[in-house]
Amino acid sequence: MKSDISIKMARCKGCGICVAFCPKQVLALDELGKVRVVNGEACIACGQCELRCPDFAIFVDRVKEAAK
């Protein structure tokens, strides 16, 4: 399963909780202290970043891959 991660930058306060809970190190804080996707291909759509974000700034859209 693939995912599309959306980040509402205006809501992000840069707490880093999402970065800490991501099991695949998909997210990182940038030089401004805001979260960004650095390894989107590794995302397993577990939703931990979305669930843990206290500011509701991250949304994980799960996309099923077409059967081959």
Q: Is 24 within the bounds of a domain?
A: yes
Mean pLDDT of 55-63: 92
Distance between CA atoms of residues 67 and 53, nearest Å: 32
CATH number of the domain encompassing residue 29: 3.30.70.20
Q: Which domain holds residue 48?
A: 2-63
Q: Is residue 68 part of a domain?
A: no
59 in a structural domain: yes
Q: Measured between alpha carbons, how far is residue 43 from residues 10, 13, 32 in Å?
A: 23, 22, 23
Q: Is residue 13 included in any domain, yes or no?
A: yes
| pLDDT > 90? residue 33 | yes
Which pLDDT value is given to residue 1? 59
Taking 60 as the threshold, does the pLDDT of residue 7 lie above it?
Answer: yes
Domain count, the chain: 1
**Is a pLDDT exceeding 90 seen at residue 3?**
no
Residue 46 falls inside a structural domain = yes
Record the pTM.
Answer: 0.84
Q: What is the mean pLDDT of residues 28-54?
A: 95
**Does 57 reside within a domain?**
yes
pLDDT for res 63: 75
CB 62 within 8 A of CB 1: yes
Average pLDDT value for the chain = 91
d(CA 30, CA 37): 9
